């Protein structure tokens, strides 16, 4: 119980700090610290739900559910509620995955006919921005690259340029679309890769990348780093 209180206090402190730094803090009618804590729990839950971007969420029914549990007036157990939510979010994710797959397929079907775009047998599409003149990596090599990744809507989800430092990684340790694309490049080259979901993160997605997302990467191959045979 003590650990929960400590973690919650830290979360509340962060929320209060963010609120004070960004917007005038809204005063509430709190008779005591318990009232203040109750309000902050609502704020914390609200931020968590907002980050999840659940469509059509009804705040009034959320409050009703919380009130019924706290007042021992709920007709449902936590197991029943969790079972429903598991089914609901699985259905929601499957729907999103199907929509993303269709958007990706439609994009790739149109993109393959654009000037300069080449499609490989696997379905990877790429366009040469700058042709390199140095070494071409093998699957056993490490590489140093600058890159930025975007979703089809143009939203950037990652960028080594923004971090101010190129990334180094083994070609065997990245998504298939990257491995295949970099094997086509030479040092000094810069390509734009259009990666189907099957060559990216597939139906599982990853963090800010939804299920079955088609991704666009701008990749600059700076250096091929051969890995010693004994590693």
Q: Quick count: other Cβ atoms within 10 Å of Cβ 85?
A: 10
Active site includes 194? no
Q: Distance between CA atoms of 90 and 151, rounded to whole angstroms?
A: 22
With beta carbons less than 8 A apart as the criterion, state whether 221 and 110 touch.
no
pLDDT band at 207 (very low <50, low <70, confident <90, very high): confident
Interval 24-75: pLDDT, tens: 556 667 778 888 888 888 888 888 888 877 888 888 998 899 888 989 988 8
With beta carbons less than 8 A apart as the criterion, state whether 129 and 218 touch.
yes
Interval 113-152: pLDDT, tens: 999 999 999 999 999 999 999 999 999 999 999 999 999 9
* Annotated catalytic residue within 158, 161, 169, 225: 158
* Annotated catalytic residue within 126, 191, 194, 201: 201
* Annotated catalytic residue within 126, 191, 194, 217: 217
What global pTM score does this model have?
A: 0.75
* Annotated catalytic residue within 147, 191, 194, 209: 147
- As to burial, measured by CB atoms within 10 angstroms (0-12 exposed, 13-18 middle, 19+ buried), residue 78 is exposed
Active site includes 54? no
Active site includes 89? no
Length of the chain: 231
Active site includes 25? no
* Annotated catalytic residue within 157, 161, 169, 225: 157
Provide the mean pLDDT of the chain.
Answer: 86
Q: Distance between CA atoms of 108 and 112, rounded to whole angstroms?
A: 6
Predicted local distance difference test score (pLDDT) of residue 40: 86
Average pLDDT, integer, range 201-223: 94
Q: Which residues pair with 125 in a beta bridge?
A: 119, 194
Please compute, for residue 31, the number of CA atoms within 13 A of its CA located in the half-sphere on the CB side: 0
């Amino acid at each position: 119980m003590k650990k929960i209180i400590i973690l919650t206090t830290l979360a509340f402190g962060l929320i209060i700090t963010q609120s004070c730094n960004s917007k005038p803090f809204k005063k509430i009618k709190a008779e005591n610290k318990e009232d203040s804590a109750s309000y902050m729990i609502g704020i914390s839950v609200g931020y968590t739900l907002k980050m999840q971007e659940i469509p059509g969420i009804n705040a009034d029914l959320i409050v009703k559910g919380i009130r019924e549990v706290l007042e021992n007036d709920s007709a449902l157990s936590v197991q029943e509620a969790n079972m429903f939510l598991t089914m609901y979010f699985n259905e929601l994710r499957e729907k999103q995955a199907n929509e993303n797959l269709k958007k990706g397929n439609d994009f790739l079907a149109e993109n393959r006919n654009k000037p300069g775009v080449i499609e490989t047998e696997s379905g990877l599409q790429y366009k040469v921005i700058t042709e390199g003149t140095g070494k071409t990596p093998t699957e056993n090599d490490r590489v140093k690259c600058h890159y930025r990744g975007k979703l089809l809507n143009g939203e950037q989800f990652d960028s080594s340029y923004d971090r101010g430092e190129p990334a180094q990684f083994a070609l065997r340790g990245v998504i298939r679309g990257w491995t295949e694309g970099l094997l086509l490049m030479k040092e000094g080259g810069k390509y734009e890769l259009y990666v189907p979901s099957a060559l990216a993160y597939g139906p599982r997605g990853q963090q800010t990348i939804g299920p079955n997302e088609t991704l666009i990467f701008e990749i600059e191959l700076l250096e091929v780093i051969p890995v010693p045979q004994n590693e």
